[in-house]
Amino acid sequence: MDTIASLTQRIRAYDRLIQQIADAHYPETRLLRNVPGVGSLTSLGYILTLEDPRRFRTSREVGACLGLVPRSDQSGDHDPQLHITKTGDAYLRRLLVQSAQYILGPFGPDCDLRRWGLKLAERGGKAAKKRAIVAVARKIAILLHHLWKNGEVYDPLYRSRLLQPSAKEAAIATA
């Protein structure tokens, strides 16, 4: 029990140290930490791995750079579903997958990412939950790049608000 308590204290001390480094030297990590499941370690790892947000023309290219897109092997009418490419930094990919697991897990907050991922997992099929986790990890990578590049603050229910009819539209529809 003493060993576990000692290790827990050391882990917390390292977590605080990572937080201090991120705040002091990389202030852009604050924007990225607004995304649920993305903490100091993930945001710091993301920024240190990608180095410059202008390195990619579009945010969608980040998913491919990190190996979070399906492999392709098309031939005529044959287009099988393959595993992800796993190119790029394996540690950052692991951090993004952990963030996605938190979002889709029992303690994940309600947000557009969670709703989209759970809807994807409901489709069923072989390993649907795993496929949904990787898809959400890819979306997180793209979202983090967009936030970092544009300096925007994350809105967890942005898409839901866009799809909701306004009060005026609702009144017209009910009339």
Residues 6+ apart with CB under 8 A from 157: 110, 111, 112
Question: Looking at the 3D structure of the chain, how many domains does it have?
Answer: 1
Q: Are 26 and 19 in contact (CB under 8 A)?
A: no
- 85: tokens are 């490419």
pLDDT tens digits, 4-60:
999 999 999 999 999 999 999 999 999 999 999 999 999 999 999 999 999 999 999
Please give the model's pTM, rounded to 2 decimal places: 0.84
pLDDT tens digits, 146-168:
999 999 999 998 888 887 766 55
CA-CA-CA-CA dihedral for 157, 148, 63, 50, to nearest 10: -160
Alpha-carbon distance of 170 to 103, in angstroms, equals 31
Q: Give the Å distances, CA to CA, from 161 to 110, 115, 156, 157.
A: 13, 13, 10, 6
Angle, CA 83 vertex, CA 123 and CA 120 arms, to 5°: 20
**Letter for the amino acid at 14?**
Y
Residues of the domain holding 63: 2-72+80-174
Residue written as token pair 């009819």: 165
Q: Are 116 and 136 in contact (CB under 8 A)?
A: yes
